[in-house]
Amino acid sequence: MRALRFVFVVGGVLSGLGKGVVTASIGNLLKACGYKVTAIKIDPYVNVDAGTMRPTEHGEIFVTEDGGEIDQDLGTYERFLNQNLSKNNNITTGKVFLRVIQKERALEYNGRNVQIIPDVSDEVKNMILEVSRGYEISLVEVGGTTGDIENLVFLHAIRELSEEYPSATVMVSYLPFLENVGELKTKPTQHAVARLRESGLFPDFIVARSELGLDEPRKEKLARHCFVPKAHIIDDPTVDNIYKVPLIFEKQKFHEKLLKKLGLPFKKYENKKWKEFTEKFESGEEVKIALVGKYVTYGNTEHKDVYISVIEAVKHGSAKIGAKPVIVQLDSRKLEGNGVEFLKEFHGIIVPGGFGTTGIEGKIKAIKFAREQNIPFLGLCLGMQLAVIEFARNVCGLKKANSTEFDPKTPHPVIDVIPEQKELLEKKMYGATMRLGAWEAVLKKGSRVWKIYKKRKVSERHRHRYEVNPKYIKILEKHGLVFSGKSPDGKLMEFLELPNHRFFIATQAHPEFKSRPLAPHPLFVSFLKEALKLKLETSKRK
């Protein structure tokens, strides 16, 4: 195998430009050229991981196979690269410092003083190299923008790596459009590149983000002012479908130019399936899906990416069956104290994962409606726990049934903390201590989920502390709830379903994390098939 090469992706002007999508798209193209590619995300925050952050402020917490609780960019990488990544592919300031301090306490620096450069920067390099080994091209995205204090040591580390390995630096920048002069402005990018140069890094490519796309004069200007060849200014206009970005880059031969810069031969390009997926994407019969969640305003805005993997999984599943999903994000708090009859207009209802008491009763109301009205329902993690609570209250007659997470004194704790988790909570050991990552479940022969997965043993990713209380399983089953998947030791309920319902399935896991454009998740595909069926039935009746 060839020696390792690096593509460094840095950002200028502002964050939130879709650097993650750019990195993932570059990975998609280089993989299509036949190279072994991996991708690393550097998050300059001091948190060790994203597990302790509020999704309503920071976006979804993505979970890897090995149980990492990670920034959502890693989810984008997995979807575009169609490959699993490790939690070690996410490097944070917190993780780096934790390692340096542990080494220092263990006298590993032999009594000398420990410094940001070279000790912290070397640790960053070590962490990048540890996960890059075995690959031909490693993509490293540095979060934030150039000029941030938090970024400096990371930029220093990648500058050193860029001298030690063949590499390319890609700057993703933004060109604002000024309405009054009718012009795209390049100046902020010029300044951002100048700041990047202060760290000793020179961009080899500029990916120019703008609402409408670049024109020739602007390309010329960027090239002259930023010392980047004109052919290396890549146009990246805002698109409605992010999966098209690799194809937009392909047209500009970004992959060929990158390979040339890396000193690698361009031998082939095979990305037919991806192209087919983007063509099928969001076309066909419309199905209306309600995503009943927690949407909290932060300042004047709501974070759009709280349930991004669920939304993407719905899109992948829809493309597979040739339907166009219309996903409506419903704030569950608004269902409380109001009628939910309007949910009838939906062809499917999803209740995703979550924590804390906000909006719980609204979600339960939506589940009751889906169960009683025979509307396809998919419950994910918290969604499964609430389906159990709803069933216990309204079918088994345990009126005050609840989870001890929301009501510690409930007379019917149908959902309770997993025994091993109790101690951790009491000791306030919150970080990275949930039941995390891939766990197996054994499916019941003949059940709906068994037919959907077409196998008995499945593995899905998890992130939870609570479970179905074993003491209540009998009564729930007696009233018709089927636990169709259990942990291999039979102790933990992993899947449930209602046999006489069109589609009422919930799981303690997060199947959304494993859905990919080229490998849509079977649970989502089946759910959408049923939603489409309902849609066609109702439109026929009209």
Active site residue 226: no
Say how far apart CA 516 and CA 521 lie, in whole Å.
7
Query: DSSP state, 34?
Result: T
Q: Return the number of other C-beta atoms located less than 10 Å from residue 149's C-beta.
A: 8
Is residue 353 close enough to count as binding ligand GLN by CB under 6 A?
yes
Say how far apart CA 425 and CA 444 lie, in whole Å.
33
| Least distance between ligand GLN and beta carbon 63 (Å) | 9
Closer to ligand GLN by Cβ: residue 4 or 492: 492
| Least distance between ligand GLN and beta carbon 290 (Å) | 17
Question: Strand 137-142 vs strand 5-11: parallel, antiparallel, or unpaired?
Answer: parallel
DSSP states along 409-471: T-SEEEEEE-HHHHHHHHTT--TT-SEEEEEEEEEPTTSHHHHHHTSSEEEEEEEESEEE-GG
Contact 506, 387 (CB under 8 A): yes
List 156, 232, 464, 510, catalytic entry: 510
Closer to ligand GLN by Cβ: residue 202 or 406: 406
Say how far apart CA 162 and CA 201 lie, in whole Å.
9
Is residue 354 close enough to count as binding ligand GLN by CB under 6 A?
yes
What's the token pair of residue 502?
């069109």
Closer to ligand GLN by Cβ: residue 343 or 434: 434
Segment interacting with ligand GLN (CB under 6 A) among 107-115, 197-205, 238-246, 460-468: 460-468
Closer to ligand GLN by Cβ: residue 72 or 146: 72
First to last CA, the chain: 62
| Least distance between ligand GLN and beta carbon 48 (Å) | 19
User: Under rule CB under 6 A, how many of the chain's residues touch ligand GLN?
Assistant: 11
Helix (H) or strand (E) holding 99: helix 93-105
Read off the amino acid at residue 489.
D
Segment interacting with ligand GLN (CB under 6 A) among 246-254, 350-358, 362-370, 392-400: 350-358
Contact 28, 158 (CB under 8 A): no
Is residue 464 close enough to count as binding ligand GLN by CB under 6 A?
yes
List 381, 396, 462, 521, catalytic entry: 381
Segment interacting with ligand GLN (CB under 6 A) among 150-158, 195-203, 352-360, 387-395: 352-360
Q: Which of residues 359-418 bind ligand GLN (CB under 6 A)?
A: 381-382, 385, 405
Closest Cα to residue 19, out of 28, 11, 31?
A: 11
Chain centroid, CA 214 distance in Å: 29
Is residue 492 close enough to count as binding ligand GLN by CB under 6 A?
no
| Least distance between ligand GLN and beta carbon 21 (Å) | 25
Contact 202, 227 (CB under 8 A): yes
List 78, 123, 460, 512, catalytic entry: 512
3-state SS class at 472: helix
Q: Return the number of other C-beta atoms located less than 10 Å from residue 82's C-beta.
A: 15
Closer to ligand GLN by Cβ: residue 55 or 143: 55
| Least distance between ligand GLN and beta carbon 352 (Å) | 7
Active site residue 381: yes
Segment interacting with ligand GLN (CB under 6 A) among 45-53, 103-111, 256-264, 463-471: 463-471
Say how far apart CA 312 and CA 318 lie, in whole Å.
10
| Least distance between ligand GLN and beta carbon 379 (Å) | 10
Active site residue 512: yes
Closer to ligand GLN by Cβ: residue 11 or 383: 383
Segment interacting with ligand GLN (CB under 6 A) among 28-36, 140-148, 294-302, 353-361: 353-361
Binding ligand GLN (rule: CB under 6 A), the pick from 45, 97, 266, 355 is: 355
Closer to ligand GLN by Cβ: residue 71 or 123: 71
Binding ligand GLN (rule: CB under 6 A), the pick from 466, 472, 483, 495 is: 466
Contact 484, 495 (CB under 8 A): yes
Contact 356, 386 (CB under 8 A): no
Residue 180 vs residues 116, 206, 238, 384: alpha-carbon distances, Å: 46, 26, 21, 52
The residue number with the shortest CB distance to ligand GLN is 353
Q: At what angle do helices 360-372 and 382-394 cross, to 10 degrees?
A: 70
Question: Strand 457-464 vs strand 61-63: parallel, antiparallel, or unpaired?
Answer: unpaired
Closer to ligand GLN by Cβ: residue 28 or 309: 309
What track of x and - describes contact with ligand GLN for positions 288 through 317 (by CB under 6 A)?
------------------------------
Binding ligand GLN (rule: CB under 6 A), the pick from 412, 465, 516, 535 is: 465
Closer to ligand GLN by Cβ: residue 121 or 385: 385
Is residue 514 close enough to count as binding ligand GLN by CB under 6 A?
no
SS3 content of the chain, % helix, strand, coil (to 5): 40, 25, 35
Active site residues: 381, 510, 512
Residues that bind ligand GLN (CB under 6 A): 353-355, 381-382, 385, 405, 463-466
